[in-house]
A and B are shown apart, each in its own frame.
Chain A
Amino acid sequence: MSAHDNGIWSWITTVDHKRIGVMYFVAALVFFVIAGVEALMIRIQLWRPENDFISAATYSQMFTMHGTTMIFLVAMPMAVAFFNLIIPLQIGARDVAFPRLNALSFWTFLFGGIFLNSSFLFGAAPNTSWVAYANLTSIQFSPGHNVDFWVLGLSILGISSIMGGVNFITTIIQLRAPGMKLMRMPLFTWMTFVTSFILVTALPVFAVALILLAFDRFFGANFYEPNAGGDPILWQHLFWIFGHPEVYILILPSFGVISDVIPTFSRKPLFGYPIVVYAGIMIGFLGWGVWSHHMFTTGLGPIADAFFVASTMIIAIPTAVKIFNWIATMWGGQIRFTTAMLYSIGLLAIFTLGGLSGIMHAAAPIDLQQHDTHFVVAHFHYVVAGGVMMGLFAGLYYWFPKITGRLMDERLGRINFWTYFVGFNLTFFPMHISGMFGMPRRTWTYAAELNIALPNMLSTIGAFIFALSALILVYTIIKSAISGEPAGPNPWNASTLEWSIPSPPPHYNFAEIPTVRSREPLWREDERREIEAVTLKVPDVEPVMPNSSYMPILLAFGVALTWGLVMTGKWWAPLIGLAYVGVCILMWAFEDPFAKKGA
Chain B
Amino acid sequence: MSTSEIAAEARGHDQGKHASVGFYWTIAGILGVITAMEVAIFYIDALEPALAPILLTLSAVKFAMVVMFFMHLKFDSKVFTIVFLTGLSIGTFVVIALILLYQFLPRFAS
Query: Which residues of A are in contact with B by a Cβ distance under 8 Å?
Result: 169, 173, 197, 200-201, 205, 237, 241, 288, 292, 300-304
Contacts A169-B83, A173-B79, A237-B101: A303 and B90 contacting too (C-beta < 8 A)?
no
Residues of A within 8 A of B110 (CB): 301-302
Q: Which residue of A lies closest to B86 (CB)?
A: A197
22 A–B pairs (Cβ distance < 8 Å), ordered by A: A173-B79, A173-B83, A201-B86, A201-B87, A201-B90, A201-B91, A237-B98, A237-B101, A241-B94, A288-B90, A288-B93, A288-B94, A300-B101, A300-B105, A300-B109, A301-B105, A302-B109, A303-B105, A303-B108, A303-B109, A304-B101, A304-B105
Q: Which residues of A sit under 8 angstroms from B109, Cβ to Cβ? A: 300-303
The number of chain B residues touching the other chain, given as a range, is 10 to 19
Chain B 82-110 per-residue mask, 1 if CB under 8 angstroms from chain A, else 0: 01001100110110001001000110111
Besides A173-B83, A304-B101, 18 other CB < 8 A contacts?
A173-B79, A197-B86, A200-B87, A201-B86, A201-B91, A205-B94, A237-B98, A241-B94, A288-B90, A288-B94, A300-B101, A300-B109, A301-B105, A301-B106, A301-B108, A301-B109, A301-B110, A304-B105
* Smallest Cβ-Cβ distance to B100: which chain A residue: A304
Enumerate chain A residues within 8 angstroms of B87, measured Cβ to Cβ. 200-201
Chain A residues with CB under 8 Å of B83's CB are 169, 173
Chain B residues near A304 (CB-CB < 8 A): 101, 105
CA distance A241 to B109 in the complex (A): 22
Chain B residues in the interface with A (C-beta under 8 A): 79, 83, 86-87, 90-91, 93-94, 98, 101, 105-106, 108-110
Residue of A nearest to B79 (CB): A173
Q: How far is the CA of A288 from the CA of B87 in the complex (A)?
A: 12
The 8 closest A-B CB pairs, nearest first, are A301-B109, A201-B90, A201-B87, A304-B105, A301-B105, A303-B108, A303-B105, A288-B90
Complex contacts, B91 vs chain A, CB 8 Å: 201
Q: In the complex, how many angstroms separate the beta carbon of A534 from the nearest chain B beta carbon?
A: 21
Which chain A residues border B86 with CB–CB below 8 Å? Answer: 197, 201
Give, as a whole number of angstroms, the nearest-CB distance from A117 to chain B.
Answer: 32
Return chain B residues, CB-CB under 8 Å to A201: 86-87, 90-91
Q: Which residues of B contact A301 (CB under 8 A)?
A: 105-106, 108-110
- What residue of chain B has the Cβ atom nearest to residue A291's Cβ? B97
Report B109 CB to chain A, min CB distance, Å.
Answer: 3
Docked pose: A300 CA to B105 CA in angstroms: 8
Which of B79, B94, B98 has the most chain A CB within a 10 Å cutoff?
A: B94
Closest B residue by C-beta to A205: B94
- Docked pose: A241 CA to B98 CA in angstroms: 10
Interface centre among B86, B87, B90 (most CB of A within 10 A): B90
Residue numbers in B under 8 Å from A173 (CB-CB): 79, 83
B107's closest neighbor in chain A, by CB? A301
Q: B9: shortest Cβ distance to chain A, in Å?
A: 14
Docked Cα-Cα span, A241 to B83, in Å, equals 20
In the assembled complex, which residues on chain B have CB atoms less than 8 Å from the CB atom of A300?
Answer: 101, 105, 109
What is the bound-complex CA distance between A169 and B83, given in angstroms? 9
Chain A minimum-CB-distance residue to B83: A169
Bound: A201/B83 CA distance, A: 11
CA A201 to CA B88, docked complex, whole Å: 9
The smallest beta-carbon distance between B84 and chain A, in angstroms, is 11
Assembled-state Cα–Cα distance A585/B110 (Å): 54
Q: What's the minimum C-beta distance from B81 to chain A, rounded to whole angstroms? A: 13
Complex interface: chain A residues within 8 A of B101 (CB) = 237, 292, 300, 304
Determine the residue in chain B with the shortest Cβ distance to A245.
B90
- Which residues from A are CB-within-8-Å of B105? 300-301, 303-304
Question: Bound complex: CA of A205 vs CA of B105, how far in Å?
Answer: 22
Given the complex, which residues of B lie within 8 Å of A197, measured CB to CB?
86
Query: With A and B bound together, what is the CA distance between A304 and B91 in angstroms?
Result: 19
Give the chain B neighbours of A292 by CB distance below 8 A. 101
Query: Could you tell me the distance between the alpha carbons of A205 and B98 in the complex, rounded to whole angstroms?
Result: 12
Provide the bound-state CA to CA distance between A304 and B83, in Å.
Answer: 30
State the Cβ distance, B93 to closest chain A Cβ, in Å. 7
* B79 neighbours in A (Cβ, 8 Å): 173
Give the CA-CA distance A173 to B101 in the complex, in Å: 36
**Residue of chain A at shortest CB distance from B87:** A201
**A169 vs B86: C-alpha distance when bound (angstroms):** 12
Bound together, the chains give a CA A103 to CA B30 distance in angstroms of 45
- C-alpha spacing A302/B106, complex, angstroms: 10
Q: Give bound CA distance, A303 to B107, whole Å.
A: 11
Between A200, A201, A292, the greatest number of chain B beta carbons within 10 A of the residue's beta carbon is seen for: A201
Closest residue to A202 on the B side, CB-wise?
B90
Residues of A within 8 A of B94 (CB): 205, 241, 288
- By a CB distance below 8 angstroms, the chain A residues around B106 are 301
Distance between B73 CB and nearest chain A CB, rounded to angstroms: 16
CA distance A62 to B54 in the complex (A): 53
Give the complex CA separation of A173 and B105 in angstroms: 41
Q: How far is the CA of A173 from the CA of B86 in the complex (A)?
A: 15
Q: Report the minimal beta-carbon distance from A301 to chain B, rounded to whole angstroms.
A: 3
What distance in Å separates the Cβ of A308 from its nearest Cβ neighbour in chain B?
Answer: 10
**Distance of A241 Cα from B95 Cα, bound (Å):** 11
Choose among B79, B86, B101, B110 the residue with the greatest number of A CB atoms under 10 Å from its CB.
Answer: B101
A237 and B97 CA atoms in complex are apart in Å by 10
A205 and B97 alpha carbons, distance in the complex (Å): 14
The closest CB in chain A to the CB of B109 belongs to: A301
Min CB gap B35→A, angstroms:
28
A211 to chain B, nearest CB (A): 16
Q: From B94, which residue of chain A is reached at the shortest CB distance?
A: A241
Measured CA separation A241–B105 after assembly (Å)? 18
Alpha-carbon gap, A237 to B93, bound state (A): 14
Residues from chain B with a CB closer than 8 A to the CB of A241 are 94
A87 to B56 CA separation, bound complex (whole angstroms): 42
By a CB distance below 8 angstroms, the chain A residues around B90 are: 201, 288
CB closest residue in chain A, given B106: A301
* CB-defined contacts of A237 to chain B, threshold 8 Å: 98, 101
> Taking the nearest CB of chain A, how far is it from the CB of B104, in angstroms?
10
> What residues of B have a CB within 8 angstroms of the CB of A303 in the complex?
105, 108-109
Instruction: Return A290 CB to nearest CB of chain B, in Å.
Output: 11
Tell me the bound Cα distance from A304 to B98 in angstroms: 11
Q: How far is the CB of B108 from chain A (nearest CB, A)?
A: 6
CB distance from B66 to the nearest CB of A (A): 21
In Å, the complex CA distance between A200 and B106 comes to 31
- Which residues of chain B are near A200, meaning CB under 8 Å? 87
In angstroms, Cα B73 to Cα A582, docked, is: 29
